[in-house]
A and B are shown apart, each in its own frame.
Chain A
Amino acid sequence: MTTQNLTTLTLAQASNLVKTKKISPVELTQACLDRIDAIDGKLNSFLTLCPNEALAAARYAEKEISNGRHIGDFHGIPYAVKDIYNTAGIRTTHGSKVFKDNVPEADCTAVTNLNNAGGVLVGKNHCLEFACGNHHEIHGEVHNPWNLDHSPGGSSSGSGASVAASLIFGSMGSCTGGSIRGPASNCSIVGHKPTYGLVSRHGVFPLSWSLDHAGPMTRTVEDCAIMLQAVAGYDPKDPSSVANPGVDYRAALTGNIRGLRIGVPKELNEGCDDAVASLIKDAIAVLLDLGAEIKEVSLPIAGAHATMAGSVITWSEEAQIHAPWFDQIQDYTEGARQKVLTGAVVTGLQYHKAQQIRRMVIDEMNDVLKRVDLLVGPVATSAPGRLPTGPAPGTKAADSVAAERSFSRPFNMTGAPAVSVPCGFTPEGLPIGLHIAGRFLDDATVLRAAHAYEQATPWHTMHPDL
């Protein structure tokens, strides 16, 4: 197999070949490193690589497997993490200038879990500064592999771009309002925001304690299930950690969604451009063909108020998180700095009101999810925008804040699981994702529906021409 043939295997295919000793973790890891070397100059999706550590881990995995100690589906699989995940002895910049030389002493729990599952950490993916700002000029822009002039989305931009370009089999992203599903949609990969607390956030630089989620980004749903299985679990170091429900996520991908009741919330489907609306309509028709029941439902509070309330919660918590670095605020990108400044002036009254709105969104969502099993719609109203991102010249930041409508943020407010799965391309060849969300701790049903849809469509078999 050529390097490209190896890296374009799905994680599940690579896993099966490693398990049966047809390829070695060292070959896989070297193939990823070679492809990163050949392609990433176009994408800028990695900030730091750790080839020596990766090859040492791969050699260890190879030895264990050859001695009959294969420990699971993630054993010997090369992976990456967004550069806000602490990695012992490996630079962790948070996409910033302030932390450009930061080298943590310990791994975050997610990296510990993935390494304990036999994974091979290859490097740290570029991201928006502090998972919320812009790409810092000292690190440069990240480019969308489907069209280098367009954005891969954020904030897990490098994770999305590197997975889509087959530089790596999976990457861990983080999501406070849509930072896993957005890049997944923009890059035509699968991005899963698990139930709040299912994956430990310990050692992942926070943006908002009460809204942050850590989750896998991969090329297929099956790959996502494998990575989620390896990383999920109770962690006493994370105060929001949930007890592992003991679900086999890969086994849950039965392909059968007959009889599932799928709601289409009208407020989270409004205002899309024609190309997005058409692709989502086609995707819902596929779900119907697969035997799901489709019903229109309404989430008026989520539609009207979740975006602003989520922003207020995020910015307020973010300001407190960044208080130790207020004296370096002028080294931040404009996007991150503005959020911190706003959070610093938000009042207690506004923060509590935002949390009251959050309660209303949770109650409204729970009520609807008594009548349907899942909710579907677009991840975003339009296709990936052109680089550079940010407000158009002459536009005020306040105008962008007033106009923002997020289809993904309501599910950060509720903590419920939600995934983006590729659902086609606009006439310009830009990817769009289908958003599927479910009940708290029912990640398995969300992934089951995403997998059934994926297998009925060709999008996951397509690769960008790089």
Chain B
Amino acid sequence: MPITQRVIRLRLQKAGINAHEKQVESTTEIYNVIEEKFAELPPAQLTTVEPAFIQPTRKAP
């Protein structure tokens, strides 16, 4: 189910960002694009995949 502008507005406010209504609208639309794209790889397909995160610190030789 797509996220609503109301939820996005609240999240932005919670983060301390005062966004204009157009900005809330575009952010909501992009959020829903991310959700749609990520739905192509459902969690069940990723159960054995450990995230990469930042690459580890390496020591000088």
Contact = CB atoms under 8 A, between A and B. Distances in A.
B55 A196 contact: yes
Interface stretch (A75-83, A137-145, A234-242, A456-464): A234-242
Interface residues of A, number: 49
A397 B18 CA distance: 19
B46 A356 contact: yes
10 contacts: A308-B38, A326-B16, A326-B17, A337-B23, A344-B15, A345-B27, A352-B51, A353-B41, A355-B53, A359-B49
B25 to A, nearest CB: 9
Contact of B19 (A196, A239, A329, A360): A329
- Residue among A209, A356, A359 facing the most chain B CB atoms (10 A cut-off): A356
- 3 smallest beta-carbon distances between A and B, as pairs: A355-B51, A398-B29, A210-B54
Given A241-B58, A323-B15, 7 more contacts: A240-B55, A244-B61, A326-B16, A327-B16, A345-B27, A355-B53, A397-B29
Interface of B: 8, 11-12, 15-20, 23, 26-27, 29-38, 40-41, 43, 46, 49-55, 57-61
Interface in A323-359: 323, 326-327, 329-330, 337-338, 340-342, 344-346, 350, 352-359
B59 A243 contact: yes
B5 to A, nearest CB: 11
Contacts of A370: none
Contacts of B43: 353
Contact of B52 (A311, A350, A355): A355
A242 B26 CA distance: 39
Contacts of A244: 61
Contact of B11 (A308, A312, A344, A358): A344
A35 to B, nearest CB: 40
A305 B41 contact: yes
